[in-house]
Structure 1
Amino acid sequence: MSVATLAAGCFWCVEAVFQNLKGVETAVSGYMGGHLENPSYKDICTGETGHAEVLKVTFDKDIISFEELLEVFFKTHNPTTLNRQGNDVGTQYRSSIFYHDMEQKLIAEGIIKKLTEENVFDDPIVTLLEPVTTFYPAEDYHQNYFNENGQNPYCAMVVKPKVEKFKKVFASRLK
C-alpha cells in the first residue's frame, strides 16, 4: 500500500470524494503541517497553528496511481484560491500536497506544470508542495462525516453537490 496526504479545503469534502475511489483502502481526516503537537479541531480553526485540514489516503497503486489521485484532487477543488475553498477561509483550508518522497514531489510538480502550461485554470495554481510532517488524526466525529451526517446543512449545501459532480466525472473509477 502507498500513502498520499492531500489538503483541499474542508476535510469532510475531501474524504467524501476520495473514499469512493477504487483502490483507496482508507481515507482518514486529520491535521498536518503545523507547529502545535496533538492539535484539536478547535485549535486548528483559529488558523494560528499552521496546520491544514488533510486527508491521509492509503491506496493500492496497482489499482489507482498517485497521478490519478492528483487528477481527482485538482478536479474536485479550486487550487487557485489562496487559503480558501468557497466560504471556508484560513490557512487550515489551503490547497497542498504533502509529499511522502521525492517521487511524489516530482510527480506533483510535473502535473502542476502541465496544468499551468495548458491554461486549465483561469488563475495561477497556488497549491503548495510540502514535505510530510506528523499526521494527527482528527477527532472521531470528523471521520466518515458526510456519510454519517449527510443532512447537516453544510453537507447538504456544500459536500453533496461536490460528491455528485465527482461521481459523474469519475463514474468509471468508483468503488
Structure 2
Amino acid sequence: MEKATFGSGCFWCTEAIFQRLKGVEKVVSGYSGGHIKNPAYREVCNGVTGHAEVVQLTYDPEVITYDELLEVFWKTHDPTTLNRQGYDVGTQYRSAVFYHTEEQRKKAVYYKQKLEEEDIFGAPIVTEISPLETFYAAEGAHQDYYNNYTSQPYCQAVILPKVKKLKQIFSEKLKQEQNNL
C-alpha cells in the first residue's frame, strides 16, 4: 500500500471522489501545508493556520496507479482558481499535491506541465506541488462526510454533482458498489 495526499477544495468533496475509486482502501480528511501543530477545523476555516483541507489516501498501486490518481485529481476540480473552489474561498481551499516521494513529485510536476502546454484549462494552473511535511487528520465529524450526510443541502448541491461527474468520466475506475450513486 502507498499514500497520496491531495487538496482540491473542500475535503468533504475530495473525500467523496477518491473513496469511490477501485484500489483506494482508505481516505482520511485532514490538513496539511500549514504552520501550527494540531490545527482544528475552525482555525483552518478561518485561514489563520496556513493549512489546506486535504485528503490522504491509502491505495494499492497494483489496482490504481499514482498516475491514475493524478488524472482524477486534475479532472475533478478547477486547478486554475487561486485559493478557491466554487463558493469555498481561502487558502485552505487551494489546489495542492503534497507528495510523499520524489517519484510522486516528478509525476505531479510532469502532469501539471503537460496540462499547461496543452492549455487544457484555458488559464494558468495554480496548483501547489509541495513535499508532505505533516498531515493532521480532521476531527471525526469530518470523516466520511458525504456518505454520512448525503441528504444535507451542501452534499446535494455541491458534492453530488462532483460525484456524478466522476461517474461520467471515470466509471471504469469506480468500485462496483459505487457505480450506483
Q: How high is the TM-score relative to the length of structure 1? A: 0.99
Distance 1:20 1:141 in 2: 19
1:61-119, Cα deviation, whole Å (9 max, x unpaired): 01111010000000000000000000000000000000111110000010011111111
Residues 1-175 of structure 1: pairs in structure 2 closer than 5 A = 1-175=1-175
Aligned-pair identity (%)? 57
Question: What residue identity is the alignment partner of 2:77?
Answer: H
Query: For structure 1, which segment, 79-88 or 145-154, has the greater mean C-alpha deviation from structure 2 after superposition?
Result: 145-154
- SS state of the match for residue 81, structure 2? coil
Matched residue of 1:29: which SS? strand
Structure 1 runs, 4 residues or longer, greater than 6 Å off: none
For 1:114 and 1:93, the matched residues in 2 are separated by 23
> Counterpart of 1:49 in structure 2: which amino acid?
T
SS of 1:164's equivalent in the other structure is helix
Which one-letter code corresponds to 1:64 in the other structure? I
Report the secondary structure of 1:25's partner residue.
strand
SS in 2 for 1:130: strand
Cα displacement string for residues 114-156 of structure 1 (whole angstroms, at most 9, x for unaligned residues): 1111111111000000110111100101000001101111111
Q: Counterparts of 2:130 and 2:165 in 1: how far apart (Å)?
A: 28
Aligned equivalents of 1:98 and 1:20: distance in 2? 21
Aligned equivalents of 1:91, 1:170: Cα separation in 2 = 28
The offset of 1:47, in angstroms, is: 0.6
Total equivalences in the alignment: 175
* Matches of 1:134 and 1:169, distance apart in 2: 32
**Whole-angstrom CA distance in 2 between matches of 1:101 and 1:146:** 30
Structure 2 residue runs of 5 or longer lacking an equivalent are 176-181
How far residue 10 of structure 1 moved from its aligned partner, in angstroms, is 0.1
Query: 1:34: how far off?
Result: 0.6
SS in 2 for 1:31: strand
For the residue of structure 1 that corresponds to 2:129, the secondary structure is strand
Q: TM-score, normalised by structure 2?
A: 0.95
For residues 172 and 102 of structure 2, the distance between their equivalents in structure 1, rounded to whole angstroms, comes to 30
RMSD: 0.6
Select between 88-97 and 163-172 the one with higher mean Cα deviation.
Answer: 163-172
Q: Which consecutive residues of structure 1, in runs of 5 or more, have no partner in the other structure? A: none
Q: Aligned partners of 2:27, 2:129: CA distance in 1, in Å? A: 20
